[in-house]
């Protein structure tokens, strides 16, 4: 059963080929058998999953079922889940039991999905390799000595190893698209404001956006349709109707104008990754799309801009974790200052501390204008580049990551090298655009992802372009041999 897509599982549930309880037990058994090798889950909610599956079976039997009713999924451990630990993979929140559900969780629960558990991630979503987790690194199912990407590495690894048919993720600078590429699955980050951030623990509020991982674009369309929509509890949520994403999947891309940014195919891109990417673009040509070169001249400014904006916002957001109201508290503090200092020093890992320090410095008196304000001005230039490009083309394509998955520990002592792995994804968040990664082939036995970038609220066109490619190829059907 685990080799089926969500659409196929939904059809099987509706036809009575298997029950949601049987399907859920199957995935729980796979998690028990395979997760020790991957460390993709922080929490497995077996009891509540089976209870939800039985409720889904009753809904299916009564004819009161939607397209996702009875389908098991996993949630990134950044989404609050009522009565279940929500840790953000940090010691700071190791003892935090969320008292409510995030809007994303509520919506998917209402759609009838069954939560299998909460997936591992980089601490507070800060990382590109899933090595900063308090619970240890997640392993890539294609090579357990390699990273799965981050920060949503647990979700990506779980879907790639078929421990869950789909999983939620968040993307602040590429944290859905990059792990999707490195794990050989499909992942989409919608337009900023399309999916509610209520109950999603904040890293950088103007960049964070919830999204989803699944084997195929069709599966992502089903999941995103259930997750998206206006939420009055989130001030950044956009009040705009959510289209039927599955209805947009015509498989026809004839006349689609694809832009290839010349800045994405230069120095720093692995030659083998470039070959796979170019072969994928050729497939689109065969399908009738028109390919033209475009320019995003401020691409080189994306990383320095992001690593001022994101740490500044993280410094502000994480100031609430002080050992007083919730989360980790140090033992026997001498006074209030000692409580703050030791609770935060013990609760936060090295990467989180690094970003808090950088962000606090950038926001401090005398440096705000020179760093944070300047970064916001550069951010506007980056967005303007995309605006001009979309006057010429419908979709922008290129590599998702400059290389395939690197080895665990390879970049741990070199933060700058780690940050460069997000070179092609960060600008999309700075501009608030939708982006996705789809499997495009392999290099050295490891997956390569093709990134698709759309204009604001144009997720339907992105999903259709991805679906057309997946109808013509079978890269999204490949699974790691050890987990097949």
Sheet holding 446-453, edge to edge: 41-44, 114-119, 72-76, 167-170, 210-214, 186-189, 435-443, 446-453, 395-399, 257-261, 290-294
| DSSP type of residue 478 | -
Q: Using the predicted structure, report yes or no on whether residue 350 has a pLDDT greater than 90.
A: yes
Q: Using the predicted structure, report yes or no on whether residue 412 has a pLDDT greater than 90.
A: no
| Structure tokens belonging to residue 319 | 């100031």
Structural domain tally of the chain?
1
What size, in residues, is the chain?
484
CATH number at residue 222: 3.90.1300.10
CA 78/CA 76 separation, integer angstroms: 5
With respect to residue 248, please indicate whether it lies within any of the assigned structural domains: yes
With respect to residue 258, please indicate whether it lies within any of the assigned structural domains: no
With respect to residue 405, please indicate whether it lies within any of the assigned structural domains: no
pLDDT of 93-122, one tens digit each?
999 999 999 999 999 999 999 999 999 999
pLDDT of 328-340, one tens digit each?
999 999 999 999 9
Q: What is the pLDDT of residue 424?
A: 97
Q: What is the pLDDT of residue 419?
A: 86
> Residue 223 belongs to what domain range?
6-252
Q: What is the pLDDT of residue 413?
A: 83
Q: What is the average pLDDT across 364-374?
A: 92
With respect to residue 106, please indicate whether it lies within any of the assigned structural domains: yes
With respect to residue 350, please indicate whether it lies within any of the assigned structural domains: no
Q: What is the pLDDT of residue 180?
A: 98
Q: Which of 52, 190, 38, 156 is nearest to 108 (CA)?
A: 52
Active centre residues (catalytic): 76, 151, 175
Residue 404 CA, chain-centre distance (Å), reads 17
Q: What is the average pLDDT across 467-476?
A: 98
């Amino acid at each position: 059963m685990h080799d089926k897509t969500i659409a196929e599982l939904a059809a099987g549930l509706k036809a009575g080929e298997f029950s949601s309880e049987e399907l859920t037990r199957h995935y729980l058994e796979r998690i028990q058998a395979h997760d020790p090798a991957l460390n993709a889950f922080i929490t497995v909610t077996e009891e509540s999953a089976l209870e939800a599956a039985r409720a889904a079976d009753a809904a299916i039997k009564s004819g009161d079922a939607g397209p996702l009713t009875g389908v098991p999924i996993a949630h990134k451990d950044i989404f609050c889940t009522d009565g279940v630990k929500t840790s953000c993979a940090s010691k700071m929140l190791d003892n935090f039991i969320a008292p409510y559900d995030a809007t994303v969780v509520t919506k998917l629960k209402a759609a009838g999905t069954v939560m299998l558990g909460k997936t591992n991630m980089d601490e507070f979503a800060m990382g590109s390799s899933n090595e900063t987790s308090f619970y240890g690194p997640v392993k890539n199912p294609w090579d357990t000595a390699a990273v799965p990407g981050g920060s949503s590495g647990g979700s990506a690894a779980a879907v790639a190893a078929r421990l869950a048919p789909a999983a939620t993720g968040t993307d602040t600078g590429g944290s859905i698209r990059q792990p999707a590429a490195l794990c050989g699955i499909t992942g989409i980050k919608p337009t900023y404001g399309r999916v509610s951030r209520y109950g999603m623990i904040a890293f950088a509020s103007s960049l964070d956006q919830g999204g989803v991982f699944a084997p195929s674009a069709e599966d992502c369309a089903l999941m995103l349709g259930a997750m998206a929509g206006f939420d009055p509890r989130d001030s950044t949520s956009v009040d705009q109707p959510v289209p039927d994403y599955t209805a947009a999947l015509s498989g026809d891309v004839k006349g689609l104008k694809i832009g290839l940014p010349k800045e994405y195919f230069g120095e720093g891109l692995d030659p083998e990754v470039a070959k796979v990417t170019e072969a994928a673009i050729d497939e689109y040509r065969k399908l009738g799309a028109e390919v033209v070169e475009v320019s995003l001249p401020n691409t080189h400014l994306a990383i320095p801009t992001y690593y001022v904006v994101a740490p500044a916002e993280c410094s502000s957001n994480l100031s609430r974790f002080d050992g007083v109201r919730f989360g980790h508290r140090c033992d026997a503090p001498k006074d209030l200052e000692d409580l703050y200092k030791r609770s935060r020093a013990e609760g936060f890992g090295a990467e989180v501390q690094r970003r808090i320090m950088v962000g606090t410095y950038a926001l401090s008196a005398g440096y705000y204008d020179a760093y944070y304000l300047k970064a916001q001005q550069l951010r506007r230039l980056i967005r303007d580049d995309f605006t001009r490009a979309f006057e010429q083309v419908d979709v922008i394509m290129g590599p998702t990551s400059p290389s395939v998955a690197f080895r665990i520990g390879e970049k741990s002592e070199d933060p700058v090298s780690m940050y460069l792995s997000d070179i092609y994804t960060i600008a999309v968040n700075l501009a608030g655009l939708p982006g996705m990664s789809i499997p495009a082939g392999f290099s050295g036995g490891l997956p390569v992802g093709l990134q698709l970038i759309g204009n604001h609220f144009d997720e339907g066109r992105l999903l259709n372009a991805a679906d057309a490619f997946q109808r013509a190829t079978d890269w999204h059907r490949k699974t790691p041999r050890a987990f097949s």
